[in-house]
Structure 1
Amino acid sequence: MLYRNSTLSNYFIVILLFLSLFLSSCSLISDSPQISPATGYYKIDSPEVQGLINRLYTQAGPDFSWMDLEKGIMHNIKYLSRKSENGIAAKYGKFEITWDMLRRTNEDFLNILPKLDTEPELLEENFVWYALSPRTLLTGYYEPYLEASLTPDPRFPYPLYSVPADLKKIDLGDFHHRWKGQKLLFRVDGDTIVPYYDRDEIDFKGALQGRGLEVAWVKDLVDVFILQIQGSGRLILPDGSVKHILYAGKNGLKYVSLGKILIQRGLLPKEGMSMQKIREFLSQNPQLVEELLSTNPSYVFFRLDDDGPFGSMAAPLTPMASIATDTKVLPSGALAMLTTRLPVADADTKEPMAKIVMAQDRGGAIKGTRVDLFCGSGPDAEFLAGHLNSWSHIYFPVSRKYLEEKQAQ
């Protein structure tokens, strides 16, 4: 274990870990499936299911094909096949979601996928549908393009860092069963443990300089900030080639929304807030960039790859179908129906959308029923991700055969 390699005594570390739980001096990450029972899933009846299916067939978009989901569902099945069948993936209210429930639902969906263009009734015949309560806030993320270099170059002064070796993590469940599923991220400083370096220390005080952690360099520090929010991107290199830059880890400090900071300080109005508005404001006020970016202590580290982007399941994401969720509410590998309204470029309106989506990612800011839709890459994806902030509804299908078998046992 990491703590056995430290000069600290086990007793002293336990005291520090206990204090950190209640004083929040270091980051805690919880993997526990238990959440508040105040809300949950409830079964919906046939007329409502039929109405939702009608929406699927009229609002999925002109370019939608059911077979677009095939590879993503296959990735779900591969991921779920490694899980314990009777293990609890999530417990939301009184509703338990098991890994086997998720796997069987994906398998049944894959089997009927080629028939769904002409047989929509299969969606009700094969699945029992549950609504997620309360409604969810839907936001978006995308894969930004950044001009970059893989070697030091004065035209690209801002580094992207890999995970530092001195960023340590401890499973608190090793100390007490009450802390099962919680982890502590920290670094060792002399004879004590402290939170890892924050954004101000890394970007403006050079805490990681000279350690060989740079994986690439980019032109604009604001681009680094936005890339960290999105989690992955594409680097356009000077010779025209492309590299994927992917999430590898984080410093464990709390994520603070820059948009909320700008609103609270009266620098931008709440109405019409978007990533584009934030970028424009920072461009027009360069003297505030250091102070404003430093209000978000959370920091993301990266790795390079020829492929991507990948979600938290280590599987490729599908544009407009993969979502990031709080896995305590909607676990990784789950299928769902999403109904919402999407912003339209150059128009003060939103258009309705209903689609089958796949929970294949998660993010530090995604809590409770909130869902983050992966919008893809390019200008259209950037617009949608930057402006998407809509109330939405999630419906969760469960294999009818699976439920019948469980009732018969």
Structure 2
Amino acid sequence: MVLVFFSGCSTRNITAETPAKGYNKIDGAQVSGLINRLEYQGGAEFSWLDLKNGIERNLRYLSRKPQKSVAAKYGRMQITWEMLKRTNEEMLGILPLLEESPELLDERFVWYSMAPRTLLTGYYEPYLEASLTPHPDYPYPLYSVPADLKNLDLGKFHHRWRGQHLIYRHENGEVLPYYDREDIDFKGALQGRGIEVAWVKDLVDVFILQIQGSGRLVLPDGSVKHVLYAGKNGLKYVSLGKVLIQRGLLPKEGMSMQKIKAFLAANPELVKDLLTTNPSYVFFRIDDEGPFGSMGAPLTPMASVAVDNKVLPLGSLALLTTRLPQQGEKSKAPFAKIVMAQDRGGAIKGTRVDLFCGSGPEAEYLAGHLTSWSHVYLPVSRALMEELEAVKAE
């Protein structure tokens, strides 16, 4: 049985500069060039073994999947869970050898370029001053998932809706959208329910935490807790950066999270109006460990990425090439690294990839300024591909 179908590029309106949408096989010379970039841009502190824990987490996730089933179909290429698992196993096995023998990346894998290229953005773990008990200095609550928030799997009703969910609430026998940001933050829709998990000093910090999905709470005694994504209200995410640009309040050039924070701090009278343009709302839980991605496993800074799993499934390995902004510099630094698809995001659609930058000031700067056109290359176990070709030839 043929489980995977790869097709060459369609010739209609396709040139070398405009490859067909999907995954397109690259030749040996291109692969060699990519390997050289990995070696050159790894840096003195780079070690292939830094990927070991993340790949093992991928394998734990992938081992629970039906191996012969299709994980994603993008363009004319079908990616099965078996492809992802075998590729991770191959990579894990050669990690100790790659420093001396990087050519194994060519020998052991067939490489495919994702088209079109991707817009790379970044996210990070913000630090918030917070209290786990109510206090006048910490007036803004973080909420856990409310009991009246309902989640209906629409795929149970029709295959066309597979993977889609309806998030709602009941009121007087009527099904309604769940409360939006204005209802929760400014009209007290969730007050008095006892579902607060923490309180923080700044409402804008709450907003930013919800965009990033997780963070760290710095408590009055100096201890730190992880605050992690637990759910959302199901309403559409609206980019505040785009709103500020559309209203002529900030220029498109040089837009960053830092500029948004500075604008809100300088214009407190606009905070309510601007924050409520984004009705999406995120709920949290507190933990001693984190952050965790959508696979339920810890993320690796500068190696874990959030993806649209219809294009790049969770558990995938990929080679990412791009240029990263540098604090205090006008130019961007070249960057090439094997990354792991271990998270999802509401705003991550199509080929867009979101790089987890870690925590702290450097991560905040990078995530806040990262908008770079980038290329993604998907490795597939060569041994598996040869097995599938042999089956196909029978």
Indicate whether 1:348 and 2:330 are aligned.
Answer: yes
Deviations 1:51-90 (A, max 9, x none): 0000000012332110100000000000000000111100
Q: Deviations over 1:214-245 (max 9, x none)?
A: 00000000000000000000101111111000
User: Hey, what does 1:243 align to over in structure 2?
Assistant: 225
1:188 to 150, 165, 170: 170
3-state secondary structure, aligned to 1:289: helix
Q: Which residue of 2 aligns with 1:268?
A: 250
Any idea what the Cα deviations from partners look like across 1:165-207, whole Å, max 9, x if unmatched? 1110111222233322221110011121010000000000000
User: Aligned ranges for residues 220-369 of structure 1 at < 5 Å?
Assistant: 220-369=202-351
Q: Deviations over 1:87-143 (max 9, x none)?
A: 110000110000010000000000000010110110000000000000000000001
State the partner residue of 1:148.
130
CA distance in 2, matches of 1:378, 1:148: 16
Q: Distance in 2 between matches of 1:274 and 1:385?
A: 9
The superposition leaves residues 318-369 of structure 1 with CA deviations (integer Å, 9 ceiling, x where unpaired) of 0000000000000000000000000010111101000000000000000000
Letter in structure 2 aligned against 1:156: Y
Gaps of 5+ in 2: 1-9, 11-19
Cα displacement string for residues 286-341 of structure 1 (whole angstroms, at most 9, x for unaligned residues): 00000000000000000000000000001010000000000000000000000000
**Secondary structure in structure 1 of the residue aligned to 2:56:** helix
Q: Does 1:121 align with 2:103?
A: yes
Q: Which amino acid aligns with 2:253?
A: E
The amino acid that maps onto 1:83 is K
Tell me, what secondary structure is at the counterpart of 1:272? coil
Counterpart of 1:373 (choices 347, 355, 361) is: 355
Q: Distance in 2 between matches of 1:177 and 1:362?
A: 22
1:47 aligns with 2:42: no
Aligned to 1:173: 155
Which residues in structure 2 correspond to 1:81-120 (within 5 Å)?
A: 81-120=63-102
Query: Among residues 357, 363, 385, which one is paired with 1:403 in the alignment?
Result: 385
What is the CA–CA distance in structure 2 between the aligned matches of 1:385 and 1:285, rounded to whole Å? 23
Offset at residue 145 of structure 1 (A) = 0.7
Measured in 1, the distance between the counterparts of 2:308 and 2:354 equals 10
CA deviations 1:8-56 (Å, max 9, x no partner) are xxxxxxxxxxxxxxxxxxxxxxxxxxxxx97100000000000000000
Q: Supply the distance in 1 between the matched residues of 2:290 and 2:94 (Cα, whole angstroms).
A: 28
Aligned AA for 1:247?
A: Y
Q: Does residue 132 of structure 1 match 2:114? A: yes
Is the contact made by 1:199 and 1:299 (CA closer than 8 Å) also made in structure 2?
yes
Partner of 1:390: 372
Quote how far apart the aligned CAs of 1:401 are: 0.6
Partner-residue secondary structure (3-state), 1:146: strand
Runs of 4+ in 1 over 4 A off after TM superposition: none
The gaps in structure 1 that reach 5 residues or longer are 1-36
User: Structure 1: which amino acid aligns with 2:218?
Assistant: I
* Partner AA of 2:125 in structure 1: E
Asked if the contact 1:245–1:303 (Cα under 8 Å) also holds between the matched residues in 2, the reply is yes
Matched-pair contact (CA < 8 Å) for 1:145–1:236: yes
Q: Is the 8 A contact 1:326 1:362 kept in 2?
A: yes
DSSP-derived class of the 2:29 partner: helix
CA contact (8 A) 1:160 1:302 kept: yes
Indicate the residue corresponding to 2:5 in structure 1: none
TM-score (norm 2): 0.94
User: What corresponds to 1:217 in structure 2?
Assistant: 199
Contact 1:61/1:353 (<8 A) preserved? no
Pair 1:161-2:143 in alignment: yes
**Residue deviations 1:251-305 (CA, integer Å, cap 9, x gap):** 0000000000000000000000000000000000000000000000000000000
- Structure 1 residue aligned with 2:185: 203
CA distance in 2, matches of 1:262, 1:62: 41
Q: Distance in 1 between matches of 2:346 and 2:216?
A: 21
In the alignment, is the contact (CA less than 8 A) between 1:338 and 1:395 conserved in 2?
Answer: yes
